[in-house]
Amino acid sequence: MNINRRSFLQTFGLGIASLSLGNVFSACTKVNAKPNIILIMADDLGYECIGANGGTSYQTPILDNLAKTGARFEHCYSQPLCTPSRVKIMTGIHNVRNYTQFGDMDRNQITFAQLLKKSGYATCIAGKWQLGRQPDSAQHFGFDESCLWQHTRGRTDKDGHDTRFSNPKLEINGKEMNYDNGEYSTDITSDFICDFIDRHSDTPFLAYYPMILTHCPFVPTPNSSDWDAESKGSKEYKGDAKYFGDMVSYMDKTVGKLINKLDELGIRENTLILFTGDNGTDKPVVSVMNGRDVAGGKGSMTDAGTHVPLIANWPGVVLPDNECRDIVDFSDFLPTLCETAGVTVPASLSIDGRSFLPQLKGKKGDPREWIYCWYSKSGKESEAKVFTRNQRYKLYQTGHFFDIQNDVLEKTPLKDTDLNEKTKLVKAMLQNALDINKSER
């Protein structure tokens, strides 16, 4: 079925009447009893790509301003790859206890969307799914509405064209939607979220935006000088890394589009925005941060594969210029969203995360001493790579112990004979963390 963008917008009620109502409501500020939440997760975007983090290779003015007027975390860590990170962030549980296989999520898992929906939130997801091909999978996991890529179909069409960017093939609420009039997926998915916000501005809502950008293939965006509106998608998996900067800029611009919608509706001050990335930057990309080259390390256990940005903004609640050095794990997002929404996480879920909402408000909170990472793309324990770490030191299940501050590429493991008493205590703490998180699979 081929449906153009105008048909899509008409289907979801963005006619003249809706736009007129939006203009009327923009003149006043709306405050719900509960705050709105927008969680944005860029695809394959490492910590080094954001200007506020010291990155100088790309232009990210919108995100830089969100960090300036809100909170920026120096130590947020994901899983090294897409699906493992998506499972962890949505469930608040380490992969060792709930990960099954790449491209899927156990349907017995409980997500932050289900918990917030049960408490009265309207819920929406748009972007990349990769968590099960059942047509109802997004709704099953708690989302009232969905506009997704890589949901019921794979990443390429029958002719080998990647379907995620120009003239994309998406699924709207589980129904296949094919575009062939020069549309761009990021415009479609962000329009979907803006429409959702329009229709739910009087009630608390959760909008989860796992963006399709900035994953390869690296190809032109509609803002690139050589954008081809007739392109059916790249036949090369990687594309050309020279376009990565354009993709980062378009991602940043799209975040601004959502902020403008909140401002238009007068609900900006009642909305928490969280921005992160699902894993490190892809390997062909080399970026500059604080004067040094950072090669993308997606899929690896090093910082280049797991160190991601985390920016939070909520005017009047999140303190401006709040630079936090507390360490954050992807399992911490579920309890943070729940605490923000006033939702109690059932003890029966036995989550691994802890809320960082207090830190957003400038309070001490309950900061972690360490995070735990269990990663196996296949889901097989025999292929798992495991580490615990704090802000500076990392200990692998293999026994390799690194000072990341002075050895970010993990080339030289520390020897026990060279450790001082303080560092020995740190290693003992991390070893204990490994021991208490041993596999229960």
Residues near 25 by Cβ (< 8 Å), separated by ≥ 6?
201, 265, 266
Does residue 7 register a pLDDT over 90? no
Whole-number mean pLDDT of the chain? 93
Helix residue ranges, H only, 43-108: 61-68, 82-91, 95-98
pLDDT tens string 239-289:
999 999 999 999 999 999 999 999 999 999 999 999 999 999 999 999 999
Is residue 290 packed enough to be buried (19+ CB in 10 Å), middle (13-18) or exposed (0-12)?
exposed
- Cβ–Cβ < 8 Å for 277, 78: yes
- Cβ–Cβ < 8 Å for 112, 121: no
Neighbours of 316 (CB within 10 A): 9
- Give exposure, 241-251, as e/b (b: 16+ Cβ within 10 Å): bebbbbbbbbb
Distances (CA, A) of 436 to 211, 251, 368, 401: 34, 39, 15, 18
Residue 205 has φ and ψ, to the nearest 5°, of -140, 155
| CATH assignment at residue 141 | 3.40.720.10
Q: Is the residue at 245 inside a domain?
A: yes
Q: Is the residue at 403 inside a domain?
A: no
DSSP string, 102-125: TT---TT---HHHHHHHTT-EEEE
- Is the whole model's pTM more than 0.85, yes or no? yes
pLDDT tens string 99-140:
999 999 999 999 999 999 999 999 999 999 999 999 999 999
Write out the two tokens for 389. Answer: 């770490």
The number of folded domains in the chain is 1
Q: Is the residue at 142 inside a domain?
A: yes
pLDDT tens string 136-149:
999 999 999 999 99
Q: Is the residue at 297 inside a domain?
A: yes
Q: Is the residue at 237 inside a domain?
A: yes
Q: Is the residue at 433 inside a domain?
A: no
Q: Is the residue at 434 inside a domain?
A: no
Q: Is the residue at 25 inside a domain?
A: no
Give the domain range for residue 171: 10-16+30-391
